[in-house]
Structure formats: structure tokens, C-alpha cells
Structure 1
Amino acid sequence: MTGRYPDLAGQGVIVTGGGSGIGAALVAGFAAAGACVAFLDIAEVESRTLVSELDGTVEHLPLYIRTDLRDIAALRMAIDTAAVALGGIRVLVNNAARDDRHDLDAVEPDDWDENQTVNLRHHFFAAQAVAPHMRKGGGGAIINYSSIAFLLNMGELPGYAAAKAGIIGLTKSLAGRLGPDGIRVNAILPGMVLTERQKRLWIDDATIAGGIDRQCLKRSLVAEDMVGPTLFLASDASAAITAQTLIVDGGML
């Protein structure tokens, strides 16, 4: 159960990285709430499969816009396109990221820059692009996806951890800048969420067991666990909440 937020029905929502994993769960969750959703992703097969799976199950079929978020001009165009198609933008969820592992001794300047481009830079420029549309509509909500990774001293992803920590600072600054416009900005920090990509690349049975052992809640977290917190922060139920970070990790110790 994710709760019911009737104020989201018919509202324009953009989700970045919405084709798979947590992003796909968010697209489905907002669509189930009656929102008009557009999602941006570079992965065409997964994205078109998601749209096909949702066809006939929701009132407003999500709009997929193929976008390479590293291309800021393309990102801006996609957001403007979505705003027209959706009749405005009420919610932006900056979800897209890649938690590729990288060795400290092997990282070159171009590797570092690419990591920040994929995991941090587009958060700012997406927020910049949606702000005029939200002002026109009288306000809105931006939810930035960070991660608990930067809190856990994980030595195998310094660039990713730096980007995810940076998202917290960005969230606080954007909240201060956009608050007078009625735009709220918050961040969600997921824990060990068992997406297909995580299970394929990084997480084995031993890692899962070890993670659950450190959690207060003794079960695996799945992408759908992120839907309720995100809808809450997007809705009027959190109308007085901004500049905050919400950790959703099952109580990891």
C-alpha cells in the first residue's frame, strides 16, 4: 500500500531514469495515482516495454521521451516537450543514476567528470528547466534521489558517493531558492534496494543476507518500497516539508 493522494490525479509529473528499476516503479506508482507522467531515459527497450505493460491499466498512459541526460540541451527540450504534453509540471523526480564501481587508483579526470555528469549535474539542470513551468502553475515539488552509499564508507565508488552527497547540498540550496515560488525540494536516500541491475552486477546472496542483518526490518527492500515515500513528498500531504532528506533503508545500522 502506498497511500492515496487525490491531489496528484491529473497533475504533470516527470521522472528521470524511469525506464527500469526504482524509476519504473515510480512511473507506475504515479500513473496508478492518476497523474499524467512523462519519463526520460536513454534505454529504449526497457522504457517502451514499461509503457506497453501499463497500457490499459492506468487512466493516463505515461509518455516516454528518449533523452540522454548528459546532453543538457536535449534535457531542456525534453522537459519543455513534457510540459506541453502534460499541460504543466507539478512534480519532478530526479531519479536517474549509475552506481558503477570504480577503483581509486584507476580513476582519471575524464572518468570523474563523467561520473558527476551522470549522477549529479542533470539534477540541477532538470530543476532549472522545470522551475518556470512550476512557477506558472503556482508551485510544485522536486524530489532528488540520493543514496545512503555516501554514509557507509563504501570504498569502491568514491565518485558516486561524492555525487550523492552533493545532491543533499543541492537539495538544500534549491529549497532555499525556490521556496518563495511555492516549490518544495526534498531528497530521498534509498538503502539496499534489490533491483534487477543490482542483483545482476553487484549483489549476491551473501551481500543480501549481510544487508538484511544490518537492517531493523528483516526483509529485502524492493523498488516499490520507494513509491510511497516519493508520492508523499510530491503530494499536498507534505505541503510544509522542504529542504529535508528522507532515508528509506529499512533502518540500516
Structure 2
Amino acid sequence: MSSSIAPDILALDFDGVLCDGRAEYLESSRRVYQEIWNDSDLEVEKLASCFYELRSIIETGWEMPLLLRALVLGIADKEILQNWSSLVPNLLEKENLSQQTLMQLLDEKRDRWIQSNVQDWLAHHQFYSGIIPQLQHILASSKPQVYIITTKEGRFTYTLLEQQGVKIPPDQIIGKECQQPKTETLTNLLPTDDTVSLWFVEDRLKTLLSVQKQANLASVKLFLASWGYNTARSRTLAIENQQIHLLSLDQFQQDFFQWESN
């Protein structure tokens, strides 16, 4: 990989960029669902395809059990896709739930799952094709310095990467526990030296647009991972946006100069 074109800092999202964790989220959500709604007969397999397709509308993990509830209640996929931001508070109120309750339950269920059968938990994650060898190659290079910025717990992210033989310092994994928006994380990563380049790969267009709005982050090069949790509409908007590059999985596995080829 050409070092002359490589960024100084490469910030990567995790879920939807490096790892497809939809099967894990579905199973964790099922466990939370059964705890809240006491439905041991829930046939989650019948809802899996819809759940996976709608993953793109989820901003943080605690919303996953609510998505499962919406599907059980028969709310149409189109309604969920178009109006999820308004459906969330309505569902919370209707079901007498809070964000904190769902966050706590989801973490508890996941922790118990990991403690009782970590191999099963790991098996519910699948890294996208070619991601691991490319990530190892980048980490072994003199630059860029790699950071993973994720809404997933940093400890879970570290465990998954470690299981794949990827060695990255824990302090270069910035997870949910930091409790700050990605714009703030990127601001902290970006030195005051104007000659330092930072590239950010994310699968959510909304996140990239929020970065684009920050004047202090104008120098950050933005990439939308086309293989991640996003919609055709999001990918079209990315193509139309002159400051966002639509990145394919094939491009990600090539030299950095190929990342901007479309």
C-alpha cells in the first residue's frame, strides 16, 4: 500500500463497516424481548429478514428490541423505515419503557450470553469478506494510525477483533462507554497541525452529514461504506454529495488511492 497517499489517521466505524453483527443483535434483542414481554413462543426466525433489512434505521443498540417489538406488532416495514425517529418515543411510552431500561437489559443479556457461551456469541458475528486481512495489513504499515469509533461497547469490539487475531491497542478503540458523539471523537483525534490528514469510514450517512456540518472538521475526508447498514437512498445521496465518497468493499481492500476513484 502506497504510504504517500495513505492518510495519517484512519478512523473506522465497527458495526456495518468491519463487522456484520445483525445476527447477534437479533439474538440479544430476542432475549431482552422475552424478559420484557414474557413471550417464550416468539418465532424470531420469521422476523429475521425484515429485522436485518431495517438495521439501517437503528442509531444505537438499545433500539433493537424496540424494532423487534414493532415487527411483532405488525407495523409495516415502510412505516418503520420512514418514521422510525417518531416511532421510538411512541413505542417507549406505549410499552412503559425507558431508554435506560433497554440499555441496561441489553448489556445484561449480552454479558450473560458471553459469560455462559462466549464461542456462541462470537459465532453470531461475521466480519465482511476481506476485511480482516486488509485491517491487519493497514495496522502493520507505518501509517495510518487506526482508530475504531463505535457505538458498540469497546470491550466487545476488542474481544471480537482479538478473536480474529487483530492486534489493536484498547485505547485506539473508542466505544459507547465514552458517551460522546462521533463528531467530538473526531475533533479530539484531529491535531491542530493542518498537514495531518484524517479519513473516516462510516456506514451511516446521517453521521457523515453531521461531521460535514462541523467547520472544524472540514479537512476530514469522508467515506460511506456501501456494504454496510444503509439504504439505496443513502448511497444515492452520498454520490450526489461532493464531500462524501461512496466506498465499495472491493475498494476498501485496495490501495488508498483507489478509495476516491468514483
* TM-score bin (small chain): 0.3 to 0.5
Computing the radius of gyration from Cα coordinates, the structure with the larger value is 2
* Bigger relative contact order, structure 1 or 2 (CA pairs below 8 A, ≥6 apart): 2
Normalising by structure 1, what TM-score? Answer: 0.43
